[in-house]
């Protein structure tokens, strides 16, 4: 489960209409050489008998071979009784040839002389057979090169190089494996023939033929590798050229430097630290908040800051590979999103036995509990909740993800007496950049979309689930009900519901209209998150709340005054804002952001900022370009939620001695009393050796005495400079 703080049951549904074909697949490791018995050697035994006959009978090619008259009486050889086995064509031919030489040597020679051309062709075909696969591989590499040269578009992304390099590497590896197998078969076959054939010169001729084939095959492989390397070098040159053209096209030197910084690893706008230590060393663990499929969520308190958090604890030895993959996908999804209505990950703590996902804590309970405790919400309350849920989904979908398990249990309220909420549990989230069909659908029967039962999951599937949630909020019952999951899913597939219950009598037509458009069985005609959020019922119900009051004006003034002269200051402000503040402390800032975000996507554009500042007296003296430059740390042209919180905090009040000392301790991992360049780099998430100069400059910004480290006093002076107020 995601950042869940409650008990949740997941059910796996398999569409009975989808037939699964069970195929037995044999997996082999290409790195392990498989010994091939001689009688099964695929290349050697096809033509080896012909070679043997040619070498045996063609006196012109082997003049040293003399046919001696065989004595008339030949003693009959003693043959031991052998175990019955299937003999290969090569072995059968070899024994037959030997017998033929002993019994009728003259006739064999005459037969070979009569058809020399066919025998020579057979030998020629045999010599070429070993290199056919390698030549094909080289031709495939050449075809890829020609296709690349014919393209008029230069790949400007490193991803294209990685893909192409992988394709070439795969082709070379396959051809090399084929040739190696052929070489091994030829070598084994040659050794066997040398042992079996009595005439030493015949054996030597056969061995020479095999050696020539090996040399030719190796030459072909080397040529293919050489061509592949040339193609990769050409692609690298194209990418470098395109990257340089992009940088050179930017005239402004200041902007050029910022773009260059983006190309390489840089400071994040908010932090998700990975720490290796026992969780009990950093947090005091308290009661269980909930359990998931393979995790337990507990309330914890940071021993340094005293801030409450939620810890989702996974025991390593009880996790399967699939479950580990689910955890990693959840972390990736949560790192990609940054929204006031989505749970925020603070850090990841790992030791030898556990992985702990630390998130902000929501103590207000589940939406499910609030629905269960009443027969239905009033429309204003329901609209306010849907406003937040849909805004969060707009952000999730725009960042390329599907939540995949929207339900009331995965929506938590920040506090008991408020309606501010967070979407949690991204454990089954999916990337929508690559569409894929799946046979098994994971979800809860009441909320799963009809197309999901057919193996198709899209962002519209989340909207269907939200339609079910809205239906339940307004009447207290699900639109698709039944005695068991089978009955429920049958009704979901039909997609038919109604408003016949008496509780719907007092619900507005506008609310019913939105539900109908969210629960449209056809995903193409179903509302998107943005369309549902902009529906008149949602917008009209929250209009009165969306007014910036006096406190909102104060927030904007702090936003306009925010300055961070160095990257270390910017990074430290971001860390304090995300890791050393509680939800209650930033509640008013969160509300102000939601009001300013007029399209609900979790970003503040220049236009939205202009509208917000137009309502306060400071608007005439504010330069929006300067605000974006100061606040937009990831330089995407917008102010994201974490960037807004960082800039809007009243740092005059918040930068207390205690906060600064606790932040210093977070940097100083070895408790040495100073921050080294290594600790600086590890803390800020940089691991690129090419950026040594960058980290050196970062440290020098605060290292006033030049001793190569930052002590506590230097750190405080850096953070309390008046220019940053």
Contact by Cβ (8 Å): 433, 409: no
Is 312 assigned to a binding site?
yes
Distance CA 548, CA 160 (A): 47
Q: What was the pLDDT predicted at 533?
A: 97
Contact by Cβ (8 Å): 660, 716: yes
What would the mean pLDDT of 220-249 be, rounded to a whole number? 57
Closest CA to 699 of 691, 709, 690: 709
3-state secondary structure of 650: coil
User: Of residues 61 and 547, which shows the higher confidence score?
Assistant: 547
Q: What was the pLDDT predicted at 622?
A: 73
Specify the range with the lowest mean pLDDT, choosing from 66-75, 175-184, 304-313.
66-75
DSSP codes joined into one string, 117-179: HHHHHHHHHHHHHTTHHHHHHHHHHHHHHHHHHH--SPP-SHHHHHHHHHHHHHHHHHHHHHH
* Residue 640 known to be catalytic: no
Helix (H), strand (E) at residue 567: helix 567-579
Helix (H), strand (E) at residue 279: helix 279-282
User: Of residues 119 and 583, which shows the higher confidence score?
Assistant: 583
> Which residues is 12 bridged to in the sheet?
442
Task: Estimate the crossing angle of helix 567-579 against helix 641-648, to 10 degrees.
Answer: 100
What would the mean pLDDT of 291-297 be, rounded to a whole number? 85
What are the tokens at 670?
């070895």
pLDDT at 687 over 60: no
Distance CA 566, CA 680 (A): 14
User: Of residues 580 and 126, which shows the higher confidence score?
Assistant: 580
If you count them, how many residues does the chain have? 725
pLDDT grade, residue 583 (50/70/90)?
Answer: confident
Residues 6+ apart with CB under 8 A from 363: 308, 414, 415, 416
Burial (CB count <10 Å: 0-12, 13-18, 19+), residue 604: buried
Task: Classify each residue of 711-724 as buried b or exposed e, where b means 16 or more C-beta atoms within 10 Å of its C-beta.
Answer: beebbbebbeeeeb
Q: Phi and psi of 49, rounded to 5°?
A: -65, -40
pLDDT at 479 over 90: yes
Q: What was the pLDDT predicted at 201?
A: 65
Contact by Cβ (8 Å): 369, 418: no
User: Of residues 611 and 297, which shows the higher confidence score?
Assistant: 297
Q: What was the pLDDT predicted at 436?
A: 55
**Annotated active-site residue in 302, 405, 425, 462:** 405
User: Of residues 286 and 696, which shows the higher confidence score?
Assistant: 286
What would the mean pLDDT of 260-279 be, rounded to a whole number? 56
C-alpha 530: how far from its chain's center?
26
User: Of residues 529 and 609, which shows the higher confidence score?
Assistant: 529
Helix (H), strand (E) at residue 257: helix 253-263
pLDDT above 90 as % of the chain? 32
pLDDT above 70 as % of the chain? 59
Closest CA to 310 of 327, 298, 328: 298
Q: What was the pLDDT predicted at 411?
A: 96
What would the mean pLDDT of 164-175 be, rounded to a whole number? 66
pLDDT at 521 over 90: yes
DSSP codes joined into one string, 217-249: HHHHHHHHHHHHHHHHHHHHHHHHHHHHHHHHT
| Mean pLDDT for the chain overall | 74
pLDDT tens per residue, range 634-672: 888 899 999 999 999 988 888 889 999 999 998 898 899
pLDDT grade, residue 195 (50/70/90)?
Answer: low
pLDDT tens per residue, range 527-552: 999 999 999 999 986 754 456 665 56
Q: Phi and psi of 520, rounded to 5°?
A: -70, 130
Contact by Cβ (8 Å): 68, 74: no
Distance CA 107, CA 166 (A): 57
What would the mean pLDDT of 256-273 be, rounded to a whole number? 44
pLDDT at 19 over 70: no
What would the mean pLDDT of 77-98 be, rounded to a whole number? 53
Q: What was the pLDDT predicted at 433?
A: 65
pLDDT at 79 over 60: no
Q: What was the pLDDT predicted at 137?
A: 56
What are the tokens at 49?
């008998």
Distance CA 276, CA 290 (A): 24
pLDDT grade, residue 147 (50/70/90)?
Answer: low
Q: What was the pLDDT predicted at 588?
A: 87
Q: What was the pLDDT predicted at 510?
A: 96
Residues 6+ apart with CB under 8 A from 145: 227, 230, 231
Closest CA to 440 of 464, 459, 425, 457: 457
Q: What was the pLDDT predicted at 412?
A: 96
What would the mean pLDDT of 145-154 be, rounded to a whole number? 50
Contact by Cβ (8 Å): 429, 333: yes
User: Of residues 359 and 557, which shows the higher confidence score?
Assistant: 359
Q: What was the pLDDT predicted at 209?
A: 74
What would the mean pLDDT of 443-448 be, rounded to a whole number? 90
pLDDT at 609 over 50: yes
Token pair 């800020």: residue: 684
3-state secondary structure 373-401: CCCCCCHHHHHHHHHHHHHHHHHHHHCCE
Closest CA to 538 of 475, 451, 470: 470
Nearest-5° angle of CA 301, CA 411, CA 396? 100
Provide the whole-model pTM.
0.64
Burial (CB count <10 Å: 0-12, 13-18, 19+), residue 85: exposed
Q: What was the pLDDT predicted at 30?
A: 47
Q: What was the pLDDT predicted at 547?
A: 62
Cα dihedral sign, 621-624-626-628: positive
Q: What was the pLDDT predicted at 428?
A: 86
pLDDT at 299 over 60: yes
Burial (CB count <10 Å: 0-12, 13-18, 19+), residue 292: buried
Distance CA 555, CA 395 (A): 23
pLDDT tens per residue, range 33-53: 444 444 444 444 444 444 444
Q: What was the pLDDT predicted at 537?
A: 96
> Which residues is 312 bridged to in the sheet?
297, 357
pLDDT at 495 over 90: yes
What would the mean pLDDT of 58-69 be, rounded to a whole number? 44
What are the tokens at 537?
């019922």
Q: Which of 271-275, 280-284, 547-551, 717-721 has the highest mean pLDDT?
A: 280-284
Distance CA 199, CA 106 (A): 17
């Amino acid at each position: 489960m995601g950042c869940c703080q409650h008990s949740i049951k997941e059910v796996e549904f398999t569409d009975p209409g989808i037939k699964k074909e069970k195929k037995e697949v044999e997996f082999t490791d290409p790195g392990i050489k498989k010994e091939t018995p001689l009688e099964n050697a695929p290349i050697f035994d096809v033509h080896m008998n012909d070679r043997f006959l040619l070498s045996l009978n063609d006196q012109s090619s082997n003049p040293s071979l003399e046919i001696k008259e065989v004595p008339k009486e030949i003693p009959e050889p003693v043959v031991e009784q052998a175990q019955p086995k299937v003999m290969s064509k090569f072995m059968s031919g070899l024994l037959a040839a030997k017998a033929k030489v002993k019994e009728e040597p003259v006739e064999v020679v005459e037969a070979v002389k009569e058809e020399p051309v066919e025998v020579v062709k057979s030998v020629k075909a045999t010599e070429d057979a070993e290199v056919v696969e390698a030549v094909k591989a080289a031709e495939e590499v050449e075809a890829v090169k020609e296709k690349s040269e014919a393209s008029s578009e230069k790949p400007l992304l490193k991803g294209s190089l990685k893909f192409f390099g992988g394709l070439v590497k795969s082709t070379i590896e396959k051809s090399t494996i084929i040739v190696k197998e052929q070489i091994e078969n030829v070598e084994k076959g040659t050794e066997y023939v040398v042992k079996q054939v009595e005439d030493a010169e015949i054996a030597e001729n056969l061995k020479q033929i095999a050696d020539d084939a090996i040399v030719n095959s190796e030459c072909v492989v080397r040529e293919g590798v050489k061509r592949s390397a040339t193609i990769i070098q050409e692609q690298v040159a194209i990418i470098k050229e395109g990257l340089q053209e992009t940088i050179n096209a930017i005239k402004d030197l200041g902007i050029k430097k910022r773009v260059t910084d983006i190309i390489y690893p840089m400071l994040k706008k908010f932090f998700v630290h990975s720490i290796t230590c026992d969780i009990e060393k950093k947090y005091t663990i308290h009661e269980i908040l909930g359990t998931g499929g393979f995790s337990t969520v507990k309330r914890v308190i940071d021993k340094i800051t005293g801030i409450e958090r939620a810890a989702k604890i996974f025991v390593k030895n009880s996790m399967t590979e699939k479950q580990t993959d689910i955890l990693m996908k959840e972390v990736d999804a949560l790192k990609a999103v940054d929204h006031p209505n989505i749970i925020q990950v603070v850090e990841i703590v790992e030791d030898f036995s556990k992985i702990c996902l630390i998130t902000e804590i929501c103590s207000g309970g589940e939406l499910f509990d609030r629905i269960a405790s009443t027969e239905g919400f009033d429309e204003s309350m329901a609209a306010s909740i849907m406003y937040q849920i849909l805004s969060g989904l707009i952000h999730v979908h725009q960042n390329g993800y599907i939540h995949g398990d929207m339900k009331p249990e995965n929506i938590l309220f920040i506090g008991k007496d408020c309606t501010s909420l967070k979407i949690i549990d991204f454990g089954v989230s999916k990337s929508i950049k690559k569409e894929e069909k799946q046979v098994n659908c994971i979800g809860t029967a009441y909320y799963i979309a009809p197309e999901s039962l057919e193996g198709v999951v899209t962002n519209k599937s989340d909207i269907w689930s939200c339609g079910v949630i809205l239906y339940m909020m307004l009447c207290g019952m699900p639109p698709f009900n039944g005695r068991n999951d089978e009955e429920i899913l049958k009704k979901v597939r039909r997609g038919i519901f109604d408003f016949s219950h008496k509780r719907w009598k007092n619900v507005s037509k506008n609310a019913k209209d939105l539900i109908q458009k969210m629960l449209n069985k056809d995903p193409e005609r179903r509302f998107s998150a943005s369309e549902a959020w902009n529906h008149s019922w949602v917008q009209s119900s929250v209009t009165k709340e969306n007014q910036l009051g006096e406190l909102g004006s104060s927030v904007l003034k702090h936003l306009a005054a925010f300055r961070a002269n160095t990257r270390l200051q910017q990074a430290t402000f971001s860390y304090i804002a995300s890791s050393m503040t509680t939800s209650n402390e930033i509640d008013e800032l969160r509300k102000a952001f939601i009001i300013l975000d007029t399209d609900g996507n979790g970003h503040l554009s220049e236009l939205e900022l202009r509208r917000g500042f137009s309502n306060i007296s400071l608007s005439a003296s504010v330069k929006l370009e300067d605000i974006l430059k100061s606040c937009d740390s990831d330089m995407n042209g917008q102010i994201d939620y974490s960037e807004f919180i960082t800039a809007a905090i009243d740092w005059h009040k918040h930068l207390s001695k205690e906060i600064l000392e606790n932040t210093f301790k977070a940097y100083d991992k070895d408790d040495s009393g100073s921050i080294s360049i290594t600790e600086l780099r590890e803390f800020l998430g940089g691991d690129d050796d090419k950026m040594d100069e960058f980290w050196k400059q970062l440290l020098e910004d605060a290292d006033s005495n030049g001793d190569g480290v930052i002590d506590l006093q230097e750190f405080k002076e850096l953070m309390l400079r008046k220019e940053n107020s």
